[in-house]
Structure 1
Amino acid sequence: MKFVIQRDQLISSVQDVMKAISSRTVIPILTGMKIEAKESGITLTGSDSDISIESFIPAEENGNVNVEQIEAGSIVLQAKYFPDIVRKLPEKTVEIESDENLKVTIRSGKAEFNLNGQDAEEYPQLPKLQTDDSFELPIDLLKSLIKQTVFAVSTMETRPILTGVNIKLENGNLTFTATDSHRLASREIPVTEAPGQLPTVVVPGKSLNELNKILDDTEETVEISVTNNQILFRTKNLNFLSRLLDGNYPETSRLIPEQSKTVLHVKTKELLSTIDRASLLAKEERNNVVRLSTKGNGLIEITSNSPEVGTVAEEITVPSISGEELKISFSSKYMIDALKAIEYEEVKVEFTGAMRPFIIRPANDDPILQLILPVRTY
């Protein structure tokens, strides 16, 4: 195998693929990165058996030559050393060559590294997803779906299914839902040209976080395909494959209150920064509790106290408030996460009493929904 490649192109592909490589894997060869050279270009692969990432560097694209002098072949290189070497090479191009004894030479300018490679035949074959059930989404939309839900997955392995995001496509609507049983985040969007039904799947939150980091805003769309235990996100030069979580996701729709007793309209930034300030004194408490009380005359008060530290109180004038008076306590962290995820200037908060879950959504009723369980403080 041999090729000469633009260093910048190689670096950005290596960085993407590294996100799937873990030093803690039980299969030794997976601590390495697979490099495969063909006429058409170079494919880099990384996997930790939960997620697998393939990044393709085309030999030529839009009239630019990325890779030349290609002699086909493949090799696996230690991911512990290879990325750092590539990053620190002196010149704009890199020549990589391997011989039949799996010895690899990396040259750039006057620098030359000789590494021991591993046989690419021993690298596990990635499952090839052949499926008719696939649909496309604009990348920016997928990224916002992830951002508005994934923070609410559980970090506790006690109920593994809750560490993932539930993705459901039915009747032309795609829904992402995440919950850790104390809060819930969901968003629904219409999808044109989608297959009628897709199996409902649960994708690990960790996978979606990595996908979100890798997806390039410059690409237009991502194709999503599902098989029984894998989901594939594919853009022009990237394949991102994740395992799915086994088990039944809880039926979350019944958590969402049908009617509300108190409704606030409030400016998102203002509520966010007030709760943020109130939480400064709530750090000692396990869940950083703050309290919201309605005051009449379009005022609400946000307070927090911790006996050893002190108290804080701040009033906000809200655009509108209707229904019963209310005092409710909740985790400031959950509320801050939820408000940050809703990218709208004004939100509507609907309460059904001091001990019932409450809902936050954009004031314009865009189908983004955040639900939080209150905290007992007496």
Structure 2
Amino acid sequence: MKFTVQKEYLVKAVQDVMKAVSSRTTIPILTGIKIVVTQEGMILTGSDSDISIESFIPSTLDDQHILEVQQTGSIVLNAKYFGEIVKKLPSDFVEIESDQNFVTKIKSGKTEFSLNGFDAEEFPLLPQIEEHETFRISADLLKFMIRQTVFAVSTSETRPILTGVNWKIENGDLTCIATDSHRLALREAKIEMDSMDNNFKVSVVIPGKSLNELSKILDDNDEKVEIVLTEHQALFKTKHILFFTRLLEGNYPDTTKLIPNECKTELTVDTKTLLQAIDRASLLARDGRNNVVHLETVDQSIVNISSYSPEIGKVVDEIICKELKGEELKISFSAKYVMDALKAIESPEIYIQFTGVMRPFLIRTANDTKTLQLILPVRTY
């Protein structure tokens, strides 16, 4: 195998596939990146037990010559060292050549490395997915939906199903739901279906870790991502990337019963103002019990955000609401959970619906039914 490739394309492809490479694997070849070179282009693959990522570098892109192949072939190179090497090479072009003993020379400018490789035939094959039903969504919207939900997955393995995000498709709508049993994040969006079958329904649970890695790879543009969901795997396809992830097994809990239909107290407030007030209140609450802060309505337009620590002191912050109606309220909650929710919504103004001191409350944006954050209060009073 012998070829020359533009460094910037190689570095980007290596960084993408490395997100699937685990340093803790017990299978030595999975610490490597598989490289396959043909006259059409170069395919790089990284994989662990959960995620597999394949990146394609075409020989020519937009009339620009990226890859010149003198001899086709394949090799597996240690991901950690290969990744560091290509990133630090001095020239804009990289020449790579491997012999029959899998010894690989990497040249750039006056610099030359030699790496011992593995036989690519020993690298596991990617999952075989039958593409019965596919749908599409723009990359920037998909990144946005991941960002608005994945932070709420559970980090505890006691209920593994909650470490993933529930993706449900029905009537041409994709609903993403994440919960750790103390909070819930929900985001809906329209999707483009290949099938004209409006009865198509599916419900899968995608690991939060996989979605975080996918989000890092996706570009912020309106190019469509093609998605295939099967019983055990999900596949995300972009122009030059294939991203495979296993699905979590088990039934995701029915979260519809958690979302209250009634409302006793409502307030509309500037998001940044509330976020900063909770952040200040949490300064004294961090070392205390569960980082709890308190919200109390004062009159028809004012709420107080406060926290109290017997060892440290007390803080009270007054906020003027744009609108406040309903019953008087005194409620306590995790500062972290509410701040996470406010950051995820990314709206200048938010609307909060309270249903009682010990009932879940909802954070929404005005006139938006597609985004919802639910948080359980903490009993302190």
Question: What TM-score do you get using the length of structure 1 for normalisation?
Answer: 0.98
Which residue of 2 is the match for residue 68 of structure 1? 68
Which residue of 1 is the match for residue 149 of structure 2? 149
Which residue of 2 is the match for residue 330 of structure 1? 333
Q: In the aligned structure 1, how far is the partner of 2:348 from the partner of 2:139?
A: 23
**SS of equivalent residue, structure 2 residue 272:** helix
Which residue of 1 is the match for residue 256 of structure 2? 253
| Shift of residue 344, structure 1, vs aligned partner | 1.3
Q: In the aligned structure 2, how far is the partner of 1:287 from the partner of 1:145?
A: 28
- Contact map agreement 1:149 1:186 (CA 8 A) in 2: yes
Q: Does 1:266 align with 2:286?
A: no
- Contact map agreement 2:37 2:69 (CA 8 A) in 1: no
Q: Does 1:294 align with 2:306?
A: no
Which residue of 2 is the match for residue 95 of structure 1? 95
- Contact map agreement 1:173 1:190 (CA 8 A) in 2: yes
| Shift of residue 108, structure 1, vs aligned partner | 1.1
**SS of equivalent residue, structure 1 residue 149:** helix
Pairing partner for 2:351 from 348, 352, 361: 348
Which residue of 2 is the match for residue 24 of structure 1? 24
| Shift of residue 80, structure 1, vs aligned partner | 2.2
Structure 1 residue runs of 5 or longer lacking an equivalent are none
Q: Does 1:128 align with 2:128?
A: yes
Q: In the aligned structure 2, how far is the partner of 1:69 from the partner of 1:80?
A: 25
Which residue of 2 is the match for residue 58 of structure 1? 58
**SS of equivalent residue, structure 1 residue 296:** coil
Q: In the aligned structure 1, how far is the partner of 2:348 from the partner of 2:161?
A: 33
**In structure 1, what residue type is equivalent to 2:359?**
R
**SS of equivalent residue, structure 2 residue 10:** helix
| Shift of residue 198, structure 1, vs aligned partner | 4.2
**In structure 1, what residue type is equivalent to 2:380?**
T
Q: Which moved more, 1:171-180 or 1:64-73?
A: 64-73
- Contact map agreement 1:292 1:300 (CA 8 A) in 2: yes
Percent identity between matched residues is: 60
**SS of equivalent residue, structure 2 residue 202:** coil
Which residue of 2 is the match for residue 278 of structure 1? 281
- Contact map agreement 1:204 1:245 (CA 8 A) in 2: yes
- Contact map agreement 1:54 1:240 (CA 8 A) in 2: yes
Q: Which moved more, 1:358-367 or 1:299-308?
A: 358-367
**SS of equivalent residue, structure 1 residue 316:** strand
| Shift of residue 30, structure 1, vs aligned partner | 0.3
| Shift of residue 92, structure 1, vs aligned partner | 0.9
Question: What TM-score do you get using the length of structure 2 for normalisation?
Answer: 0.97
Which residue of 2 is the match for residue 115 of structure 1? 115
* Alignment deviations for residues 84-103 of structure 1 (CA, whole Å, 9 cap, x no partner): 11112121111111111111
Q: In the aligned structure 2, how far is the partner of 1:82 from the partner of 1:166?
A: 36
**SS of equivalent residue, structure 1 residue 203:** strand
* Alignment deviations for residues 220-267 of structure 1 (CA, whole Å, 9 cap, x no partner): 111110111110111000011100000000000000001111111111
- Contact map agreement 2:30 2:123 (CA 8 A) in 1: yes
**SS of equivalent residue, structure 1 residue 22:** coil
| Shift of residue 70, structure 1, vs aligned partner | 4.0
Which residue of 2 is the match for residue 370 of structure 1? 373
Q: 1:187 to 1:218 in 2, by over 3 A?
A: closer
Pairing partner for 1:207 from 191, 204, 210: 210
Q: 1:56 to 1:198 in 2, by over 3 A?
A: farther
- Contact map agreement 1:358 1:373 (CA 8 A) in 2: yes
Q: 1:212 to 1:286 in 2, by over 3 A?
A: farther
Pairing partner for 2:236 from 229, 233, 236: 233
Which residue of 1 is the match for residue 225 of structure 2? 222
- In the alignment of these two chains, the number of paired residues is 378
| Shift of residue 218, structure 1, vs aligned partner | 4.2
Q: In the aligned structure 2, how far is the partner of 1:218 from the partner of 1:373?
A: 35
**SS of equivalent residue, structure 2 residue 277:** helix
**In structure 1, what residue type is equivalent to 2:77?**
L
Q: Does 1:242 align with 2:245?
A: yes
Structure 2 residue runs of 5 or longer lacking an equivalent are none
**SS of equivalent residue, structure 1 residue 375:** coil
Q: In the aligned structure 2, how far is the partner of 1:108 from the partner of 1:207?
A: 34
Q: Does 1:319 align with 2:322?
A: yes
Q: In the aligned structure 2, how far is the partner of 1:134 from the partner of 1:192?
A: 9
**SS of equivalent residue, structure 1 residue 200:** strand
**In structure 2, what residue type is equivalent to 1:25?**
T
* Alignment deviations for residues 315-345 of structure 1 (CA, whole Å, 9 cap, x no partner): 1110111111000000000000000111211
**In structure 1, what residue type is equivalent to 2:337?**
Y
* Alignment deviations for residues 296-326 of structure 1 (CA, whole Å, 9 cap, x no partner): 1311111101110100001111011111100
- Contact map agreement 1:287 1:333 (CA 8 A) in 2: no
**SS of equivalent residue, structure 1 residue 376:** coil
Q: In the aligned structure 2, how far is the partner of 1:228 from the partner of 1:26?
A: 27
Which residue of 2 is the match for residue 83 of structure 1? 83
